[in-house]
Amino acid sequence: MSLTNKLRQAAEPIWSAILRHPFVSELYKGVLSMDKFRYYLLQDFNYLVGFVKALAAAAVKAPYLDGMRLAVELAHGELTTELASYEVMLAELGLSLKDAQAARPNPTNVAYMNFLSTTCLLGTYGQCLAALLPCFWTYQEIAETHAAELEGNPVPIYKKWASTYLSPEYKALVRELRATLDGLGEDFEALKGPFLTASAYELMFWDAAYRGETWPA
């Protein structure tokens, strides 16, 4: 069994909860409240900014040029393609880039971004990739699990958003990340903690979006 398969197996209870979370299932069915999706987009836009910073740290930690290239290309893709597509979706919902930048990251979002930054700055390259991988990989599994429901989704923006994670390009990206982590030869126990923690934060992020999490004051 590959290293990433072992990590996925260890995280099964968390990933199972992600796959059946009401935010996810309602979005793919097209019955999710648009207010909840709008809240999610604003939070995720801010999360992606922190994610890019973690990828930049990963590039610094990479022990070889191919690893550095992967991290830099991912960071560039998030800054250009991903954030640009979010800007378009925000506009479709009557929101602007200024609205997204002004939105205060919720407590779960802040904690998740801090975890990624700390892991990538203080951990090994492998630990950084292990912390970053669940974000990419869970979105693919979510899309594959709920693909049949997406076919009949009546909400165009939900179908457009979700279809990204079923594309051949996205699946190839996840495969490359997994292959890179598998090829590092790092110890499973050293990577298990970051992978499980990031997986838990993915679940918490969906839940925070569903609840519309706010700060106490």
pLDDT one-digit tens code per residue, 18-42: 999 999 999 999 999 999 999 999 9
Q: How far is CA 64 from the centre of its chain?
A: 25
Rounded to an integer, the average pLDDT of 124-153 is: 95
Please say if the pLDDT value at position 132 is more than 80: yes
Please say if the pLDDT value at position 125 is more than 90: yes
Measure the CA dihedral 72/113/145/153, to 10°.
-100
Is the CB of residue 2 less than 8 Å from the CB of residue 186?
no
pLDDT of residue 67: 78
As given in the structure block, the two tokens for residue 70 are 């992967």
Rounded to an integer, the average pLDDT of 103-132 is: 96
pLDDT of residue 77: 73
CATH number of 3-209: 1.20.910.10
H or E stretch covering 21: none
Measure the CA dihedral 79/80/84/85, to 10°.
-100
Longest Cα–Cα distance in the chain? 48
**Per the confidence metrics, is the pTM higher than 0.85?**
yes
Rounded to an integer, the average pLDDT of 97-119 is: 95
pLDDT of residue 62: 81
Domain boundaries, the chain: 3-209
How far apart are alpha carbons 98 and 77 in whole angstroms? 21
Catalytic residue set: 135, 202
pLDDT of residue 68: 79
Angle between helix 12-19 and 188-211 (nearest 10): 20
pLDDT in tens, 143-192: 999 999 998 999 999 999 999 999 999 999 899 999 999 999 899 999 99
pLDDT in tens, 52-104: 888 888 888 888 888 778 888 877 777 777 777 878 888 999 998 889 889 99
